Amino acid sequence: MPLQNGDHLTREEFERRYEAMPHLKKAELIEGVVYLHSAVKYEDHSRPQTRLLTWLAMYELATPGVEASDNPTLRLGLDNDPQPDALLRITPAAGGRSRIGQEGYVEGPPELVAELAASSASYDLHAKLHVYRRSGVQEYLVWRVLDREIDWFSLREGQYQKMTADASGIFRSEVFPGLWLDPAALLNADLAAVLKTLERGLADPSHAAFAERLRGSSGR
């Protein structure tokens, strides 16, 4: 039986049906409920996602023990298989909490998850936010494309709190030192400026110390 929006399924049944539908681009199980996604618009989702992934991939390139990915299925408990637009994780060898299971899925919470949402009404800022918080995802970035806003949450004492930009308007990750983001540049599709800000973050001494710590954890 094919997946349908609103189906209430176990994770095992959801994954079985999903794997039997190779034509299906994206489906998620959130709190035991199936969500199917429609065709992706170029300017509202595809291009913004590419810019977001480029930013994360450049951080991976400069940071040992860190991996970026797009659209992986996450196994987060028995009722949740979200498929975030992007993530950044610390590998287990470097001290991270997520791992790649025998069936190829990410199991456990990555350190950072990023989603592109249409607006503040999206389930990314409601049902999925609660799943990521409860699962221990330490940072959650939501790009509200139609609202032209970026929300970056940090997990503090079991609750998500919105991070604030510094005096120059730059977000700085609390989990990944040197992962700096110019939200205005990202919203204006100025990838060169986004990467220039990231370069400044990677040149900060905090990133060098973090990279050395990860190398020590992985024994490299």
Closest by Cα among 153, 149, 161 to 186: 149
Instruction: Single out the residue of 76, 83, 68 nearest to residue 28, CA to CA.
Output: 83
**Does pLDDT of 100 surpass 60?**
yes
Share of the chain above pLDDT 70, in %: 98
Name the CATH code of domain 41-218 (choices 3.40.50.620, 3.40.640.10, 3.90.1570.10, 3.40.50.1820). Answer: 3.90.1570.10
Taking 80 as the threshold, does the pLDDT of residue 10 lie above it?
A: yes
| Amino acid 219: pLDDT | 61
Quote the CA–CA distance of 172 and 143 in Å, as a whole number: 16
Segment 115-130, tens digit of pLDDT: 998 777 787 888 999 9
State the pLDDT confidence band at 189, using cuts at 50, 70 and 90: very high
Half-sphere exposure of residue 1: CA atoms within 13 angstroms, side-chain side: 6
Average pLDDT of every residue of the chain: 93
Q: At what angle do helices 47-62 and 191-203 cross, to 10 degrees?
A: 20
Q: Residue 220: which pLDDT band, with cuts at 50, 70 and 90?
A: low
Radius of gyration of the chain (CA): 17
pLDDT in tens, 106-162: 999 999 999 998 777 787 888 999 999 999 999 999 999 989 999 999 999 999 999
Q: Where are the domains of the chain?
A: 41-218
Q: Which residues contact 53 (CB under 8 A, 6 or more apart)?
A: 68, 70, 86
pTM of the model: 0.92
For residue range 30-50, what is the model confidence (pLDDT) as tens digits? 999 999 887 778 888 899 999
